[in-house]
Amino acid sequence: MLYGFPPGVGATGTAALLNVPKSLEKLLESLRGEGYDLGLEEGTQVPSGEDLVEALRALDDGRVVAGGVDAARKAVETLRLAKQEESSSDSSKDSSNALHGVSVSGANVTPKQLKQWLTFPETWGPTQWGPIPFLPAPDVLVTRMENAWGSLDTYAGLATVNGGKGSYVAGLQIGNVFVGIQPALGVEGDPMRLLFERDLTPHPQYAAYYKWLQHTYQADAVMHFGMHGTVEWLPGSPLGNTSLSWSDQLLGAMPNVYVYAANNPSESIIAKRRGYGVIVSHNVPPYGRAGLYKQTSELRELLSEYRDAPSANFHALAGSVFDLCASAGLDADVPFVGQDGDAVRVTSETMVLEEVEVAAEVGDGGDEKGDHSSKDGDEKTPDAGDEEKGSSSKTVKVKITAAAFDAYASSLFTYLGVLENRLFSEGLHVLGGAPSDEAA
């Protein structure tokens, strides 16, 4: 089970810190090596992870969803033919065997079928219900879902097939392996709302997807591929699932193998406790140092030159320092604090170096008061044209003293040192693959 969150922004087949396409490819190779049936001839390469993710994105297209499983099969076949044509016209791209052995599996799950899957047997008693102080009606989950989403018989919302044919469930079949995308949570405009409101339920297609895996596909196990999915966060008991907890209901008796980053034990505990996950931790990518890019690197050189002779370089370099700082966006991280204690944005056009006083902007319709001297000591007053402009803005000049600039330059230089040495994850981890010598 791969992820596609947030939906509609090209996130299909991604996970935090994990290279999903490459990892999926290595997993399929490993499964075949262990004797699992992938439906491929001896010596045939497993499908490319990138091709599989591209096919899954095609299945997630809104027009395909509306057309149901038949449209999904056509979409994958169209993609296969397009890749073969691309390979024949461009010898540098070998796509002639793209999606070999890959088919579409799924169903348009009708409202009637979904209700049956969500209804408990009439014969259930206290033993089967688990630790709850009452025996609910057998259709309690159906009732809750309809209270949240409306009648299942007429529901035509998220991931439903045109013509009232029910919920869309589709994925890729490779021998005995099914690869699908976990349904979106489904609360438009507030995708996290479902996680915090107990009265909500997963939308019908979300439930249909997992129930189809349980009852129709009859999966021997489900693997959630990377950090992280949503089924373990669905409404229900926070401590100790009952049969009314949606994570328990949708996972059922399927073993849940959960690939999770080793540096996030707190959330993986949720996957274990509420999703019954068997956690397979993967390493995080090697860390690298951020370094400095063009503007920040040039800025550090200017600051180093200034620090060699502050008095001599103040007038020569201050404007360039402020301009580079502004263009790199560092003025938000390390703001210059003016004489009034407020952060101000300074450039070579707005700065006035020591002993040069220039008026702040004229207020609407007001007269500027006080003496304003230029470098030569001449008085500057607004002309009639300025007054006629009324509310039009003028550039605010900022007085910069040598001492203030020296303190700012020191702060900038220190910040660039921190920025340069900041650690970040360099690349993405490939499950089952060791990092390269360079990365290690």
- Name, of 85-94, 200-209, 305-314, 421-430, the range with top average pLDDT: 200-209
pLDDT of amino acid 74: 97
The pLDDT of residue 93:
60
What is the DSSP secondary structure assignment for residue 10, as one 8-state letter?
T
Q: pLDDT at position 356, please?
A: 37
The confidence band for 285, taking pLDDT boundaries of 50, 70 and 90, is confident
Q: What is the mean pLDDT of residues 24-47?
A: 92
Sign of CA dihedral 206, 210, 213, 216: negative
DSSP H or E segment with residue 89: helix 62-89
- Which pLDDT score, from 0 to 100, does residue 9 have? 67
Q: How far is CA 23 from CA 28, 174, 389, 421, 429, in A?
A: 9, 16, 63, 30, 8
Mean pLDDT of 170-181: 96
Predicted confidence at residue 271, as pLDDT, reads 92
Q: What is the mean pLDDT of residues 174-198?
A: 80
Cα four-point dihedral sign 341, 346, 349, 352 = positive
pLDDT in the model for residue 20: 95
Shortest CA distance to 206 belongs to which of 165, 130, 262, 149?
A: 149
Q: For residues 187 and 434, give the distance between their C-alpha atoms in angstroms, rounded to a whole number.
A: 39
pLDDT of the residue at 368? 41
194 — pLDDT class (breaks 50, 70, 90) = low
Share of the chain above pLDDT 70, in %: 85
Mean pLDDT of the 401-419 span: 91
Averaged pLDDT, 388-409: 72
- Residue 419 sits at φ, ψ, to 5 deg, of -60, -45
* Averaged pLDDT score across all residues of the chain: 84
Burial 2-18 (b: 16+ CB within 10 A, else e): bbbbebeeeebbbbebb
How far apart are alpha carbons 106 and 225 in whole angstroms? Answer: 20
Task: For residues 174 and 37, give the distance between their C-alpha atoms in angstroms, rounded to a whole number.
Answer: 8
pLDDT tens profile 123-151: 888 887 777 778 889 999 999 999 999 99
pLDDT at residue 94, rounded to an integer:
59
CA 257 to each of CA 18, 223, 260, 280, 381: distance values in angstroms, whole numbers, following the listed order: 16, 5, 10, 7, 76
Given this model, what pLDDT does residue 351 score?
82
Q: Six-digit token pair at 316?
A: 């020569």
| Confidence check: pLDDT of 363 > 70 | no
Mean predicted confidence (pLDDT) in 302-311: 90
Find the length of the chain. 440
pLDDT of 38 above 80: yes
Element (H, E) at 160: strand 160-161
User: Residue 30: how many CB atoms within 10 A of its CB?
Assistant: 13
Higher pLDDT, 312 or 220: 220
Q: How far apart are CA 275 and CA 259, in angstroms?
A: 13
